[in-house]
């Protein structure tokens, strides 16, 4: 099972379930439900990973005390033990 931006993981189903799915409607339904569940779990993991990455990036970026916006590299100055945007700092 492969989902974009995610590591592919093998899904192992019992051979008998797959074999019976060719002729038994209840087995087809079971296989379909297992596949849907696996896709939902994979999407949830990816969403959680994306959220964790965004939170970590927000924590790592300093915030200007004047305008409360993140400060990117090259746009800052340090004075009186605080980091400011160059354009926001007022002496």
* Average pLDDT for 70-83: 71
**pLDDT score of 29:** 94
Contact 34, 14 (CB under 8 A): no
- Of 67, 68, 64, 69, the residue nearest 79 (C-alpha): 64
* pTM for the whole structure: 0.52
User: In terms of C-beta density within 10 A (0-12 exposed, 13-18 middle, 19 or more buried), how is residue 84 classed?
Assistant: buried
- Give 34-70 pLDDT, tens digit per residue: 999 988 888 887 777 777 776 676 666 777 777 877 7
Token code pair at residue 49: 């990973």
Q: What is the pLDDT of residues 21-44, one digit of tens each?
A: 999 999 999 999 999 998 888 888
């Amino acid at each position: 099972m492969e989902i974009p931006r995610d590591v592919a993981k093998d899904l192992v189903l019992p051979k008998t379930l797959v074999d019976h799915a060719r002729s038994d409607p209840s087995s087809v339904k079971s296989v379909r439900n297992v596949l849907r569940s696996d896709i939902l779990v994979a999407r949830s993991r990816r969403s959680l990973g994306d959220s964790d990455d965004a939170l970590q990036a927000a924590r790592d970026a300093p915030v200007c005390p004047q305008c409360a916006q993140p400060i990117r590299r090259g746009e800052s100055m340090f004075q009186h033990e605080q980091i400011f945007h160059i354009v926001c700092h007022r002496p």
